[in-house]
Amino acid sequence: EALGLGQPCGACRDCELPAGGETSLSEALCGADGAPALRLHSFEPGAGNRQLHAAAIAEVERHANAGRPERAQPHLLQSHGVALHSFRGYAAFPQCPAGSELCSVGGKRMEGLKAREGAPAFSVPVTTVDALVEELALEEVLMLKIDTEGFDPLVLEGAVGALHGQRIASVMFEYHALNHWKATDLANVVERMREAEYTCYLLTRDDTLVLLTRCSHAGEQKWWWGNVLCVRDTERHVHERLLARCKWLDGGV
């Protein structure tokens, strides 16, 4: 509107599609019963970032529903004011400015926990992926994306039930040498995912894709930063595409 483009139409230009023609974005997100066929849940304990989430959610829904007011879906995305961890309870969370990505609850419960670097902290609710899957009645999670500033292994510990129950199709988490990763071996995390019947790949900063599961040299490699993608073994078509992009480490797999 600010650019003088007239009616907002969304990234998919779905309001320009003729009636009865191609499926619009809002129609694709809508099930046969009129309810959203896809929901996105975000978990953010910081008050400032929750406000940003609310603004982003409103904008996404405005574009997704553009041109289809009679089919508008007001709850495609939901933001929850909790932190994900390996336990349920409360933990200290530093007061960070809105937009900051460097805050985390750390690795301990609220009792005896001090704010890091002298920053003021407040108590936030903490829960696990397993608990949320049940509370939100999620039959299947298409992707679990974790970015908890080095405490991702602890979030995975809280998702053991859902992972072994094959209720999560794919998981992406951040890997580097900070916080809990200092004492956690990536190879051990990959092995636990293999036991739950997931195959993992490393997405490096230069867009290289490296197979980690059952790779004899993966545990010997040290990367400063990367994202790890683990996909359910039953998703064979996904693995075919990922393996086609893989860079093989010296020595084979």
Element housing 30 (H / E): none
Polymer length of the chain: 253
Q: What is the DSSP letter of 207?
A: S
Higher pLDDT: 184 or 109? It is: 184
> Pseudo-torsion of CA 127, 124, 136, 236, nearest 10°?
-60
Query: Which of 79, 69, 58 has the alpha carbon at shortest distance from 30?
Result: 69
- The pLDDT tens digits for 148-195 are 989 999 999 999 999 999 999 999 999 988 889 988 999 999 999 999
Domain boundaries, the chain: 7-80, 82-127, 137-253
30 pairs with which residues across the strands? 36
Give percent above pLDDT 90 in the chain: 36
pTM listed for this prediction: 0.77
Q: Considering the chain, what is the average pLDDT of its residues?
A: 77
Query: Which of 64, 54, 58 has the alpha carbon at shortest distance from 23?
Result: 64
User: 204 by DSSP, 3-state: which?
Assistant: strand
Confidence at 96, pLDDT banded by 50, 70, 90: confident
> Pseudo-torsion of CA 87, 92, 94, 95, nearest 10°?
110
Side by side, the strands of the sheet bearing 89-94 are: 83-84, 121-127, 89-94
In this structure, are residues 251 and 216 in contact, taking their beta carbons and an 8 Å threshold?
yes
Higher pLDDT: 187 or 28? It is: 187
Please check the confidence at residue 126 and state whether its pLDDT lies above 50: yes
> Pseudo-torsion of CA 92, 227, 64, 41, nearest 10°?
-30
Task: Compute the average pLDDT of residues 221-247.
Answer: 87
Q: Encode 206-215: b = buried (16+ Cβ within 10 Å), e = exposed.
A: eeeebbbbeb
Confidence at 135, pLDDT banded by 50, 70, 90: very high
- Written as one string, the DSSP assignment of 91-132 is EEEE---TT-------SS-STT---GGG--EEEEEEE-HHHH
Amino acid identity of 80? H
Confidence at 223, pLDDT banded by 50, 70, 90: low
- Choose the CATH number for 137-253 among 1.20.120, 1.10.287, 4.10.260, 3.30.950: 3.30.950
- The pLDDT tens digits for 61-71 are 776 665 555 55
Task: Compute the average pLDDT of residues 214-220.
Answer: 63
Higher pLDDT: 110 or 171? It is: 171
* Model pLDDT, residue 76: 72
Please check the confidence at residue 237 and state whether its pLDDT lies above 60: yes
Task: Tell me the C-alpha distance between 178 and 22, whole Å.
Answer: 47
Give percent above pLDDT 70 in the chain: 68
> Pseudo-torsion of CA 202, 205, 207, 208, nearest 10°?
-50
Handedness of CA 194, 198, 204, 207 (dihedral sign): positive
Higher pLDDT: 44 or 48? It is: 44
